[in-house]
Every structure is written in C-alpha cells, then in structure tokens.
Chains A and B, each alone.
Chain A
Amino acid sequence: MDQPTLKVENLETGYGEVQILWGIDLEVPPGNLTTILGANGAGKTTLLRAITGILPVWKGKVTFHGEDITHLSPHHRASLGLVMIPEGRMIFPEMTVLENLEMGAFTKRARAGLKENMEYALSLFPRLKERLEQKAGTMSGGEQQMLAIARGLMADPRVLIFDEPSLGLAPKLVIEVFETIQKLKEEGVTMLLVEQNVHLSLALTDYAYVLAEGKVVMEGTGEELEESEEVKKAYLGA
C-alpha cells in the first residue's frame, strides 16, 4: 500500500465558538481523484480551509506525504505542493492574466518549472494565451475559472484541491471544467475535488466521501455511491 498523499484524521474545527466539523477522517491516495460531496453548508469549504491552513485546526491531524502539517502556515503548505483552487476563484483582478499565472508559481519549487508549467497550462487553456495582457478582473466568469485552474497548475501541485470549480458556470463550461479534470487525472495528477455536481463527479472519481452537518456520513467508490439509494435520495430528488 502506498502512503496516502494527504490524510486527515479526526479533524475538528469551526469559526469562533461555533464548531462546524466533528471528527473528519479522509484519505487522498497518490494519483487518485478523491471527491467530497455534500449539500450547501455541510462544511466542505471549511474542511478545505482547514486542510490548507487558512482556518486553524482545533483537534485532529493533517498529514501530507507522511509529514504532520497540522500547524504549518498556509504559505508553508503551498511551498510543499499543497495547492488549492479556492471557491469563488479568487483570481487577482487588477493583475494581468500573465501576472496571475506567475503568482501561481510563487514558491521556490514552482519557480523552477515556471516556463514548462506555463506552456502546459496555456496548452490546456488556449483562450488564456490570447489574453495574457488583459486584466484578469475584466474576463468572464468562465474565463476566470479557467485562469484559476491554470494558476493552480502553475504551482506544480503534488495535490490539487478544487472547491466547486463548476459553480455558477454555464453548462457548456461545466463540461469543459470536468474534461480538464479528466485530462489531469489521466496524467496522474493527485486531486481532491469538492463538487455539487454529483453525477459528473461520481462518474470520474476513484473514491468519494459524503459530508453532512460536519461529519462523513458515507463513503465509497464512485460506482458504489452512484448506486446508493441514500445518495439518490439526498441529491437527486428521487
């Protein structure tokens, strides 16, 4: 058995006095696509914020390639190759597309491969190539999402975490996002995906967790969950 790339054990956290997560266990094996499903407000973004370190962990442990990172600062985690494409894209609006991509390669690790990663990212999203000098904030929502993904790839991720990348996109662009994720999966990129788009995610994923009210209520392979009555009931309105 390979050591998991990312491992979360009995994690608890919240905001102020309010506890949101109640003992989460989760593993992301190398080369796999792992998915977290759950309704709005289930705590998915909170979990990712704890994994990336933006939100301090109250209890439990986060390990990355066997190293305990529970108390490392977010920028330190990023420098280890733990990379998140955050909810709401969070591109730098007053910077050009090119500068946004460069910022993706800010860490020492990533700077070394800046050129190749830039070529690769632009080959995935040729539309960005035509707009390198444009201010990122003036692009459409779909283009900004592509930029956010490309910026994540610039970081040379050892695990790439997506928080609802298809949120608010037109159907055609949703498909494009999932095609990109599939491509990355075929290339062996280790990924952790948070999505509300149950069908598309389960079709692609190796393994999935279902989160509800801050707890993992179900887990299994993509097929297992796709066939599960409970998932259908909870998400597909059947």
Chain B
Amino acid sequence: MLSAWLGAVLSGILLGLLYGLAAIGLNLIWGVMNVINLSHGAFIALGMFSSYFMAKYLHLSPFIGVFLVLAMGVILGMVTYFVSLHKIISAPELSTLLATYSVSLVIIGLGTFIFTTNPRAIDIALGSVSVGGTVLPTTRILTGIFSVIFTLWLYYFLYKTWSGKAIRAVSMNRDAAELMGVNTTMALALAFGIGVALAMTAGALAATIFPFTILSGGGYELKSFVICVLGGLGSPLGALLGGLILGLIENLVTLKIATSYVPFLEFAILVFILIVKPTGLLARR
C-alpha cells in the first residue's frame, strides 16, 4: 500500500514536471503577447512526430533529438508568427485567438491527412530504476529531468541575456522597449518561437512515455490551461509548480478512481479556480 502511494507520488512529480514544461510555452506567449495560443496542442503533437521520425529515420535518441526539436520549434514558431499573427498583433484578443485556432486547424488537418490517426510509439527501451520498492521507467525519469533543464534554461534566457530581457521589457511596455532600441517585432516573433519550441519539446519528451496520434496534443493543451490558471500567468517557475501540483493530483486520485475521469477532474479544477481566484492560485496579483 505504502509503495503504491510512493509510486504515485514519484510518477506524479515526474509527469508533473513534464506538464509544467508543456504549460510554459502557453504561459510565455500569453504573458508577453497577450495571445491565447490555441495552436499549442497542435505544436505539442508536432513535437511528438518530430521526435518519432528522428528516432525512426535518423536513429537519434529522443533525448538528443529533443534539442533539434527545440531549435526547429523556434524557427517554425517565428515563421508562424509572421504568417499568422504579425499583422493583427495589436488587434483585439479575439483576432489573435482565431488566428491561432486557424493554425491549429491547419496543422491537425494536414497531420490527420498525412499521418492518419493511428497511434504510434517511439521504439525506446532504457529499462527502469527501482526507488524504494517502486519501479520507475528510465524514460519517465529522464523526461522529468529534461523538463527541469528546459525550464531553467528559459529562466536563464529571460533573466540573464539581452534578448531575454528585451522580451520581458516588451511584455511590460512595448513602446518603451522600442524607444530603448529593441526591435519589438523580432522580440515578439522570438517569444512566440520559444513558446512554440517549448510546446514541441514537451511533446517530444511525452512521446518517449506514451503512444500518440496527431490529436494527442489536445489533452496537454487542456492541462496547460489548468496549470496556467493554477500557477498564475507570466512566470515560468509558477508554471512548473502548477504542473507539479496537477501531476500529483492526477496520480494520487487515480489510485482511487478510473483514469478516464481525469479530464473531467482537470476541468473541474479549472472552473473551481476561475470562480475562487481568477488571477491564478499562486499568482501574486
């Protein structure tokens, strides 16, 4: 019994870190650009496929390929920004919401056409590790560790580099940043690129644990919204913490109830927080 609890806590933590990473991209794009990125889940799915094909055709371990996915994601995200968002970035939020929804429809539509919706899984066997009587797959441990690494990397980027500080400045006052010499268009594009890249990265990591289809990003998108509401928008560490909480809740609750109730539970949490504290449970303001 005790080891069942320990196992649930451990995998809750590891999965929670991954959920946190998935949420950070959404969080960043909202925090910097005031854009609700409804293509978030689609990019997560693209990350899963990128990792899958790299493993299959380039024989790259997903844990090395993930860095390539990150770089690809930045470029893909920046291109998406210029194609779908640049012209309407100052328009009311509904316009950008619809634009990202269109991006999602395009990705999911093309993805369904090309990849079908048959489930796939990455062929990876790294064994497992036994911790205090519970057995954890190594891939889960690695995804947890990588999630922390990418979160710390984002933190470092936003707080210690000129480009990162420029993105933060743009999020606070776009005109002032422009007056300081920041190319705010490029800063916004880069922020979107990094948000998308982190989503794809989370997908790439998730694909080492679970089978997936082009539609699998949807579940993570819902989790990401819940986490952003839990952790409050605008802080990467808040998102990671929110992810941890959600991962733990999920894994502990499924000891008692069926897994199929999890989406319902997540939605209930979302609604509950929005009613009780709409600025986010852990948010300062």
State the A residues within 8 Å of B (CB).
Answer: 52, 54, 73-75, 78-79, 83-84, 86, 90-95, 99, 102-104, 106-107, 110, 151, 155
Contact = CB atoms under 8 A, between A and B. Distances in A.
Contacts of B178: 54, 73-75, 78
Of the candidates A78, A83, A84, A155, the one having the most CB atoms from chain B within 10 angstroms of its own CB is: A78
Interface of B: 162, 165-166, 168-169, 172-173, 175-184
B166 A106 contact: yes
A92 B181 contact: no
Contacts of B179: 52, 54, 74-75, 78, 83-84, 86, 90
Given A92-B168, A106-B162, A155 B175 contact: no
Given A86-B175, A86-B176, A106-B162, A94 B168 contact: yes
Contacts of A107: 180-181
Given A106-B162, A106-B166, A155 B181 contact: yes
B168 A95 contact: yes
Contacts, number: 64
Given A74-B178, A75-B178, A102-B165, A94 B172 contact: yes
Contact of A104 (B162, B166, B180, B183): B180
A104 B162 CA distance: 11
30 contacts: A52-B179, A73-B178, A74-B175, A75-B178, A75-B180, A75-B183, A75-B184, A78-B180, A78-B181, A84-B179, A86-B175, A86-B176, A86-B179, A90-B175, A90-B176, A90-B179, A92-B177, A94-B168, A95-B165, A95-B168, A103-B169, A103-B177, A103-B182, A104-B180, A106-B162, A106-B180, A106-B181, A107-B180, A151-B180, A155-B180
A79 B181 CA distance: 6
Contacts of A78: 178-181
A141 B171 CA distance: 21
Contacts of A155: 180-181
A75 B172 contact: no
Pick the most buried of A73, A74, A93, A151: most chain B CB atoms within 10 A of its CB. A74
A103 B173 CA distance: 12
A104 B182 CA distance: 10
B283 to A, nearest CB: 13
B166 to A, nearest CB: 7
A17 B176 CA distance: 25
Contact of B172 (A92, A102, A104): A92
A86 to B, nearest CB: 6
Contacts of A91: 176
Contacts of A106: 162, 166, 180-182
Which residue, of A79, A103, A110, A155, has the highest number of chain B Cβ atoms within 10 A?
Answer: A103
Given A78-B181, A103-B180, A93 B172 contact: yes
A107 B178 CA distance: 11
B236 to A, nearest CB: 14
A92 to B, nearest CB: 5
A212 to B, nearest CB: 26
A110 B183 CA distance: 15
A91 B169 CA distance: 9
Contacts of A99: 165
A118 B166 CA distance: 19
B48 to A, nearest CB: 34
A92 B183 contact: no
A227 B165 CA distance: 49
B49 to A, nearest CB: 37
A86 B179 CA distance: 9
Contacts of B181: 75, 78-79, 106-107, 110, 155
B183 A103 contact: no
Nearest to A81: B181
A95 B169 contact: yes
